[in-house]
């Protein structure tokens, strides 16, 4: 596959996506911010970005008719998808926020819940290190630990340990990377994590390429 590929950035009108677009462009690919089926079809990889609340996120995805599209692309067409921050959390079966429970995309079993950070302040904002599982292929570093930039208050509690690919500690250990086949999610922001972040993103964009 050539580098001149379309990369779909799902436009579900939540949070700031300009850095994701810029990062994909910087790496030499063609970012397309869209919610149209034709754009999904013409893209090799999908990125689901987002910062904000689970409820607002999943509501927008449903309202815009994106749920069916995403599931079809990911489950039937097996396209690699990267969820970033809220985007990753939306992969979960359900989200628990202020006692409201909402169903997610149900791509990876688990619940999104408030991070039990103990004495640490929430939101968790800043650089923190990610311990990757040794067999995780997108690790941008030779070491099994790298620092990335985080901004969140909730975390993804996976049902199956096999789907956890990275762990970070903030008062408590939480899942910072998930993977289930072609479905990959990061709680951190690769597009805000300097060279290592771009490297991570590039490895994702090179899956199947």
Catalytic (active-site) positions = 85, 189, 191
Q: Where are the alpha helices (DSSP H) in 16-147?
A: 18-26, 37-42, 54-63, 66-71, 86-89
Q: Print the binding letters for residues 116-155 with other proteins: x by CB under 8 A, - otherwise.
A: -----x-x-xxx------------------xx-x-xx---
Are the CB atoms for 54 and 98 separated by under 8 Å? no
Shortest distance in whole angstroms from residue 132 CB to other proteins: 15
**Preceding peptide of 123 cis, ω within 30°:** yes
Residue 121 Cβ, how far from other proteins at the closest point, in Å? 6
Interface characters, 175-194, with other proteins (x: CB under 8 A): ----------------xxxx
Least separation in angstroms between residue 160's CB and other proteins is 29
- Give yes or no for a contact between 178 and 112, defined as CB atoms under 8 angstroms apart: no
Cβ distance to other proteins smaller for residue 73 or 193: 193
Give the Cα separation of 190 and 65 in Å (integer): 27
* Binding status of residue 168 toward other proteins by CB under 8 A: no
Q: Considering the complex, state which of residue 19 and residue 34 has its C-beta at the smaller distance from other proteins.
A: 19
| Interactions with other proteins, residue window 23-82 (CB under 8 A) | 23, 25-26, 51-52
Closest CB to other proteins among 150 and 156? 150
- 185-202 burial by CB neighbour count: b if 16+ within 10 A, else e? bbbbbbbbbeebbbbbbb
Question: Does residue 208 touch other proteins according to CB under 8 A?
Answer: no
- What's the closest the beta carbon of residue 126 comes to other proteins, in angstroms? 7
According to the binding rule CB under 8 A, does residue 18 interact with other proteins? yes
Q: In 10 A of CB 81, how many CB atoms?
A: 25
State in angstroms the smallest separation of the CB of 43 from other proteins: 21
Rounded to the nearest 10 degrees, the angle between the axes of helix 18-26 and helix 194-205 is 70
> How big is the chain, counted in residues?
209
Residue 102: beta bridge partners? 95
Q: Which residues bind other proteins (CB under 8 A)?
A: 16, 18-19, 22-23, 25-26, 51-52, 121, 123, 125-127, 146-147, 149, 151-152, 191-194, 197-198
């Amino acid at each position: 596959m050539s580098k001149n590929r379309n990369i779909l950035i799902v436009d579900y009108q939540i949070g700031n996506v300009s850095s994701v677009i810029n990062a994909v462009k910087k790496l030499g690919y063609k970012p397309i911010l869209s919610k149209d089926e034709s754009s999904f079809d013409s893209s090799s990889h999908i990125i689901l970005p987002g910062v904000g609340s689970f409820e607002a996120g999943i509501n927008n995805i449903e309202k815009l008719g994106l749920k069916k599209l995403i599931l079809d692309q990911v489950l039937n067409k097996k396209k690699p998808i990267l969820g970033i921050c809220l985007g990753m959390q939306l992969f979960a079966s359900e989200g628990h926020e202020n006692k409201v429970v909402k169903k997610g995309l149900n791509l990876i079993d688990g619940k999104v819940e408030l991070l039990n950070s103990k004495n640490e302040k929430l939101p968790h904002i800043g650089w923190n290190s990610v311990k990757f599982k040794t067999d995780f292929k997108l690790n941008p570093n030779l070491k099994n630990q790298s620092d990335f930039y985080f901004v969140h208050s909730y975390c993804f509690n996976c049902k199956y340990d096999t789907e956890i690919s990275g762990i970070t500690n903030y008062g408590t250990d939480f899942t910072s990377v998930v993977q289930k086949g072609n479905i990959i999610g990061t709680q951190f922001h690769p597009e805000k994590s300097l060279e290592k972040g771009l490297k991570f993103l590039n490895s994702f964009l090179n899956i199947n390429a």
